[in-house]
Amino acid sequence: MIESLENELVTFRSDPLLDSPKVCNAGRHLSAVEFHSVLHDAGNNLESQAQNQFVLLDARNLYETRIGKFQATNVETLDPKIRQYSDLPSWIDEHSEKLHGKHILMYCTGGIRCETASAYIRSKGAGFENVFQLFGGIQRYLEQFPDGGYFKGKNFVFDHRISVGNQDDVISSCLLCGSSFDDYSSRCRCNYCRMLVLVCYDCQAIAGRKYVCELCQRNGKGSEPMMLQENELHEELSSDSLEATEITNATFPGVTTPTQTHKTYANNHLRKLRILCLHGFRQNASSFKGRTSSLAKKLKDMVEFVFVDAPHQLPLIYQLRPSEPDLLSEQTTDAPSSFQQSPPPTMNCKKRFAWLIDPNSNSLEEQGWRMADVPFNPLQYQQQTYGFEASYYYLKDVILRMGPFDGILGFSQGAAMTALFCQQQQKRCSVMDFRFAILCSGFSAISRDRSKESIRCPSLHCFGNSQGQDRQIANQASRELADMFEEECSIVIEHDMGHIIPTRSPYLDQMKEFLRRFI
């Protein structure tokens, strides 16, 4: 089983230099029944001194609170309307007067976010002691009160269902026309920040529209739906030159991936494929973007690459390098100065990340520079099996905030994570978040005996052949990864180069041919 021990399941602060509050100081847990009873008693208490004694604080993001929240008589519901959880500390700081001296009833989807947020409120001292949190979150509450109880609307969930609850209980409305509506589509997002927005079916049918969420409107980025912009099409196009074309997976029969509507233009301009890129072990989004710049340039008319850092930060490693290699044979107990431990580099270096980590490593606790305690092991990837669950939900959040994406590209460990993600989606969801996967110089982190069912996602596998120069990932390891995918919808490209993604013919031509199937 792939598992990990995490310091934080959800990032509370965007600034890595600031410590998160200690959850040992979190608010008192209330069961679903206790939480319900407090709201019931507050609503039935008509004494003036009881008025405004309680406040409900929603610890979720705006796209979640839009479609459902707790509402009770005599209890004010505070909706921070934040874009992401790491914005909550600032909201608490700026609105502390609304919380001071009150009995604060906090809630979120499953209870995780309230642990840290309630501890942060209590850390403010006098007047902020009475903080309570709904144990198990909205999910546990709705299990106890299937009719909804004091929760109105629907509960946003992070899987293919998107929301659960009474289908007739609608508290939200369409961003454009204001009609009652609460059915999210992953294709309807703010043009600026990529947050999900609610757009009814009639308004979605209006071709060429893009949307501006409430938060971006508040920041002066426009209040009207936006037509397709000139810089997106590379030249000015009139609305009558658009022709909607339905693209299906006819090329790969029997494969269930999202059907998407693309825009085909009279002058042969096509919407670019958006591809989420996962870097390798001990890399980051910036370095991977640099390493793939040549590929991006040669595919610029077809794709848009989006790069993200993995969630597990690693310590920076340095090794001793002798100034006189010929002295090695003369090394004694008292090593010469050229082999003495030297200090780590003093320049500022960018952080390094991983999707999967060695369960025996201390990378989760250790930051900064560390001297390598063992020589480089080219087979170290075989021990990197922990941390998947955190990486999976991290990617789900990335897709929610920055998507939608057409495909996913993984390099080395990023390819292993791509395969794990696709396999997990196949188990948990009826529809995958990606229409295709590209796996370069990858290896399998899936035990074959636990993965008897092939991954049914169109895939392209690109790796060095048995005579190639890839000294990090063996040809057989990459081939075993390719074997995890359904053979009839996968393509294998073997090259004679090293641990890279080739950008010359014929390999680039084969990649382009694969991508054209989805345009």
State the catalytic residues: 108
Name 244's Cβ contacts closer than 8 Å, sequence gap at least 6: 207, 261, 262, 263, 264
Q: Where are the alpha helices (DSSP H) in 261-319?
A: 285-291, 293-298
Token representation of residue 125: 């001292």
5: helix, strand or coil: coil
**Contact indicator for 355, 278 with CB cutoff of 8 Å:** yes
**In the numeric block, which tokens belong to residue 283?**
């890399």
Give the residue among 283, 241, 233, 302 at the shortest CA–CA distance from 266: 241
Task: Report the b/e string of 484-507 with b at 16+ CB within 10 A.
Answer: bbbeebbbbbbbebebbbbbeeeb
* DSSP class of 485: B
Residue 113 CA to residue 13 CA, distance in Å, equals 12
Q: Are 353 and 310 in contact (CB under 8 A)?
A: yes
Q: What distance in Å separates the CA atoms of residue 454 and residue 458, rounded to the nearest whole number?
A: 11
DSSP string, 83-109: SSGGGHHHHHHHTGGGTTTSEEEEE-S
d(C-alpha 391, C-alpha 445), whole Å:
14
Shortest CA distance to 282 belongs to which of 355, 356, 352? 352
Handedness of CA 193, 196, 199, 201 (dihedral sign): positive
- Tokens (6 digits) for 80: 């921070």
| CA distance linking residue 229 with residue 101, whole number of Å | 50
Please state whether beta strands 407-411 and 436-440 pair in parallel, antiparallel, or not at all (unpaired).
Answer: parallel
For 228, the token pair is 């397709």
* Rounded Cα distance, 259 and 379, in Å: 39
DSSP letters for 405-444 = -SEEEEETHHHHHHHHHHHHHHHH-SS-S-SEEEEES---
